[in-house]
């Protein structure tokens, strides 16, 4: 850890800035291939070798090896029944850096995940989560279709999971500001559907 880095760390004003610097340092110590895969692995909520291959097709032949190497890193943990994930603070630091410095790459990763998760209805929420970033117009239409379907069929748990995923994209400012109103409105609709009038009114006011 050189003097320049220590000075930057000392000047960091927030925990998020410190996380970003420490994550930058951790990534700089990796091989180019592993670093590229770690950056991509931050975009989904979890990953396995197949997801890594979909994210970085040019490294697909190395996906199994790189997946094993990722598991050895201090900021990677088991994601039960699905594979592994990056620790959330590290993940958020990488996502912010990627969004701020290479938005096109972020959207490309997101589109590859849309295509990957489209093969299984079980992962519809994950697909839409990435879809609103990859192509907002198409992704937001898919969100509208699916949330209406869930609402009309009283599938509250799934609806709230979808809305929480959309809220995360709103708070990270990776979607247009106006989408926040759509998300708040649909939270209100779910409350209304289950006769929670005051909660519904509060959400409508927010929207």
Residue pLDDT, tens place only, 143-174: 999 999 999 999 999 999 999 999 999 999 99
Decide if pLDDT at 126 tops 90: yes
Contacts 24+ apart (CB under 8 A), 18-21: 19/89, 19/90, 19/92, 19/93, 20/93, 20/96, 20/97
The whole-angstrom separation of Cα 55 and Cα 130 is: 12
What pLDDT band is residue 20 in, cutting at 50, 70 and 90?
Answer: low
What pLDDT band is residue 204 in, cutting at 50, 70 and 90?
Answer: confident
What pLDDT band is residue 111 in, cutting at 50, 70 and 90?
Answer: very high
Helix, strand, coil percent content, the chain, rounded in steps of 5: 75, 5, 20
The whole-angstrom separation of Cα 79 and Cα 166 is: 21
pTM: 0.87
Are the beta carbons of 19 and 96 closer than 8 angstroms? Answer: no
- Using one digit for the tens of pLDDT, what is the confidence trace for 176-192? 999 999 999 999 999 88
The whole-angstrom separation of Cα 158 and Cα 51 is: 23
pLDDT of 25 reads 66
Determine the average pLDDT of the residues in 21-32: 77
Determine the average pLDDT of the residues in 188-204: 88
Nearest to 111 by CA among 128, 87, 123, 125: 128
Q: Cβ of 21: how many Cβ atoms within 10 Å? A: 17
- Mean pLDDT over the full length of the chain: 90
Q: What are the backbone dihedrals phi and psi of residue 177, each rounded to the nearest 5 degrees, phi first?
A: -55, -35
The whole-angstrom separation of Cα 163 and Cα 160 is: 5
Are the beta carbons of 53 and 60 closer than 8 angstroms? Answer: yes
pLDDT of 167 reads 97
pLDDT of 8 reads 58
Decide if pLDDT at 19 tops 60: no
The whole-angstrom separation of Cα 85 and Cα 93 is: 14
pLDDT of 14 reads 73
- Using one digit for the tens of pLDDT, what is the confidence trace for 60-86? 999 999 999 999 999 999 999 999 999
Q: Name the burial class of residue 131, with classes exposed (0-12), middle (13-18) and buried (19+) by CB atoms within 10 angstroms of its CB.
A: buried
């Amino acid at each position: 850890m050189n003097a320049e880095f220590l000075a930057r760390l000392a000047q960091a004003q927030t925990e998020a800035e410190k996380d970003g610097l420490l994550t930058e340092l951790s990534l700089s110590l990796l091989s180019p291939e592993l670093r590229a895969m770690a950056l991509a692995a931050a975009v989904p909520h979890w990953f396995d070798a197949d997801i890594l291959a979909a994210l970085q097709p040019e490294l697909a032949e190395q996906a199994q090896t790189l997946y094993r190497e990722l598991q050895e890193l201090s900021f990677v943990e088991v994601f039960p029944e699905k594979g592994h994930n990056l620790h959330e603070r590290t993940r958020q630091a990488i996502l912010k850096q990627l969004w701020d410095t290479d938005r096109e790459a972020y959207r490309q990763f997101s589109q590859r995940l849309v295509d990957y998760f489209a093969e299984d209805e079980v992962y519809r929420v994950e697909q839409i989560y990435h879809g609103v970033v990859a192509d907002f117009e198409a992704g937001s239409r898919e969100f509208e279709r699916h949330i209406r379907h869930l609402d009309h069929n009283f599938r509250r748990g799934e609806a709230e999971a979808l809305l929480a995923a959309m809220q995360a994209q709103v708070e990270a400012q990776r979607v247009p500001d106006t989408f926040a109103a759509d998300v708040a409105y649909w939270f209100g609709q779910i409350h209304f559907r289950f006769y929670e009038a005051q909660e519904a009114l509060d959400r409508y006011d927010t929207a």
